[in-house]
Amino acid sequence: MSKNLYNEAYLDEYIELVIRKGINLQQGQVLVISCKVECAFFARKAMKAAFEAGASNVYMRWVDEICNRTRFLMADDKVFDTFPAWDKMFFDSLSNEGAAFLNIEASDPEAYKGVDSGRLSRSSIAASGALKDYFEKVITGEVRWCIASVPSETWANKVFPDAASSDDAMSLLWENIFVASRVGNGDAVEKWDTHIDTLKNRVDSLNNYRFKSIHLKNSAGTDLYMELPQKHKWLGGGDVAKDGHHFLPNIPTEEIFSAPVADGVNGTVVGTMPNVFRGNLIEDFSITFRDGKVVSFDAKVGKEHLEMMINDIPGMDRLGEIALVEHDSPISNTGILFFNTLYDENASCHLALGSAYPDCIEGGGAMPEEERADEGLNVSDNHQDFMFGSADMFIVGTTADGEEVVIFKDGNFVI
């Protein structure tokens, strides 16, 4: 890279935010950083910031999607049903030792276009199975982790196809990442403290209503009823890990989320943003549920990928997440489609097929899978978000006494 495509001071502020508020790295802790080779400069700075924040050691996991793609095209077919034992050991041993995990995302939405989707799906099933213990620690807050994004050229060009050059597209994407992450005045950490308070207050008021069900409706065609588990909890504004330290699994984050009863969803949801599943685009889609289960679906683009998403892995034919995101938020206000779930899901109300976060019910983090299922949560080895929010989203909650409370009007919270 010949010149900096970002404001140096903003970048330092962003990295500080990721290490201090995202991971909330503690004195003497080990950090694992996963990063694409294209963004090495970012990982190098993040490593330095981590040591300055007190890390005892930092391990790198370099990712190269071009090599990965070559492997998917050329490796022996049987390798896609296995996951390397040494790689499993890496995640298991470091998570057992209390390491934190920073994932720097610089996704190319079409990295695996043209790769045999069977290979992609078998390899993801093998990884989900092998890393089950690690993922369990991730979703139960036993490890602190954070995902943050860095532009890649392919991603930037996808988001800004009309930019004069790739460099211009990269600069634009950097600017918008900073805006969406409330970075730019040197006070991102303080701004996030305020933002987290706002989210936490809304979480508290939603939890106080103890809604039995909610009804979501908009002019795009969504008309969906969902029951909430008796012990449901709304969550948002980050997480508190089992060690008592707050962290932000995603930067940025705007969502307040819970989980529906796995067999208590009825009606249709219409997607309002394209979805990327294993590098493949799914657009203009709708999904219909009866008693929680997907009974029909359609998509103008990528219907075969939507079918794979729903049918490939057990539990992906039911919902595991309902997330409320205001239409008026820094990300949404950029008006940009990021083609990146981390950003797009924080610009729009979304649902997820697949696993529910255990903490969405009281005591869920300590419950074995079967018990969580008994309490109404969906269980799966996968979790795929998709967006359905709009400027006219209307959501009403019904309490146990039958009282109706408007939660969302014209795309924003009214409670």
| Residue number with CB closer to Zn ion (154 or 222) | 222
Among the listed ranges 90-98, 141-149, 279-287, 348-356, the one in contact with Zn ion (CB under 5 A) is: 348-356
Q: Which of residues 253-312 bind Zn ion (CB under 5 A)?
A: 255, 257
| Residue number with CB closer to Zn ion (46 or 322) | 322
Assess 321 for contact with Zn ion (CB under 5 A). Answer: yes
Going by the DSSP 8-state scheme, the letter that residue 356 receives in this structure is P
Please state the closest distance from residue 104 (CB atom) to Zn ion, in A: 19
Report the 10 Å Cβ neighbour count for 304: 11
Burial of 366 (0-12, 13-18, 19+ CB in 10 A): exposed
Torsions phi, psi for 185 (to 5 deg): -115, 5
What is the pattern of x (binds Zn ion, CB under 5 A) and - over residues 245-264? ----------x-x-------
Q: Which of 104, 159, 270, 352 binds Zn ion (CB under 5 A)?
A: 352
| Residue number with CB closer to Zn ion (18 or 352) | 352
Going by C-beta distance under 8 Å and a sequence separation of 6 or more, which residues neighbour residue 12? Answer: 45
Q: Rounded to an integer, what distance in angstroms lies between the CA atom of residue 115 and that of residue 119? A: 8
Beta strands in 259-349 (DSSP E): 265-270, 275-277, 280-290, 293-301, 319-324
Please state the closest distance from residue 27 (CB atom) to Zn ion, in A: 31
Question: Given the DSSP bridges, would you call strands 57-63 and 30-36 parallel, antiparallel or unpaired?
Answer: parallel
Please state the closest distance from residue 350 (CB atom) to Zn ion, in A: 6
Q: Which of 308, 327, 385, 386 binds Zn ion (CB under 5 A)?
A: 385
Question: Given the DSSP bridges, would you call strands 250-251 and 145-149 parallel, antiparallel or unpaired?
Answer: parallel
Please state the closest distance from residue 78 (CB atom) to Zn ion, in A: 32
Please state the closest distance from residue 23 (CB atom) to Zn ion, in A: 19
Please state the closest distance from residue 321 (CB atom) to Zn ion, in A: 5
H/E stretch holding 32 reads strand 30-36
Q: At 201, list the tokens.
A: 């207050």
Question: Given the DSSP bridges, would you call strands 280-290 and 293-301 parallel, antiparallel or unpaired?
Answer: antiparallel
Please state the closest distance from residue 370 (CB atom) to Zn ion, in A: 22
| Residue number with CB closer to Zn ion (83 or 257) | 257
Helices (H), ranges, 288-356: 303-311, 330-334, 341-344
| Residue number with CB closer to Zn ion (122 or 292) | 292
Report the 10 Å Cβ neighbour count for 202: 19
Instruction: Specify whether the backbone of 210 is left (phi greater than 0), alpha (psi in -120 to 50) or beta.
Output: left
Going by C-beta distance under 8 Å and a sequence separation of 6 or more, which residues neighbour residue 310? Answer: 287, 294, 297, 316, 317, 353
Among the listed ranges 11-19, 308-316, 322-330, 331-339, the one in contact with Zn ion (CB under 5 A) is: 322-330
Assess 361 for contact with Zn ion (CB under 5 A). Answer: no
Among the listed ranges 100-108, 205-213, 313-321, 366-374, the one in contact with Zn ion (CB under 5 A) is: 313-321
| Residue number with CB closer to Zn ion (15 or 352) | 352
Number of residues that bind Zn ion (CB under 5 A): 6
| Residue number with CB closer to Zn ion (183 or 342) | 342
Q: Rounded to an integer, what distance in angstroms lies between the CA atom of residue 356 and that of residue 55? A: 32
| Residue number with CB closer to Zn ion (157 or 355) | 355
Integer-rounded Cα Rg, in Å, for the chain is 21
Q: Rounded to an integer, what distance in angstroms lies between the CA atom of residue 303 and that of residue 296? A: 12
Please state the closest distance from residue 22 (CB atom) to Zn ion, in A: 16
* Residue 212 and residue 40 in contact, taking contact as beta carbons nearer than 8 Å: no
Among the listed ranges 244-252, 282-290, 346-354, 402-410, the one in contact with Zn ion (CB under 5 A) is: 346-354
Please state the closest distance from residue 255 (CB atom) to Zn ion, in A: 5
Q: At 106, list the tokens.
A: 């610089």
| Residue number with CB closer to Zn ion (122 or 383) | 383
Please state the closest distance from residue 260 (CB atom) to Zn ion, in A: 13
Q: At 345, list the tokens.
A: 């899901």
* Residue 234 and residue 258 in contact, taking contact as beta carbons nearer than 8 Å: yes
Assess 326 for contact with Zn ion (CB under 5 A). Answer: no
Assess 323 for contact with Zn ion (CB under 5 A). Answer: yes
Among the listed ranges 38-46, 146-154, 172-180, 381-389, the one in contact with Zn ion (CB under 5 A) is: 381-389
| Residue number with CB closer to Zn ion (143 or 323) | 323
Residues that bind Zn ion (CB under 5 A): 255, 257, 321, 323, 352, 385
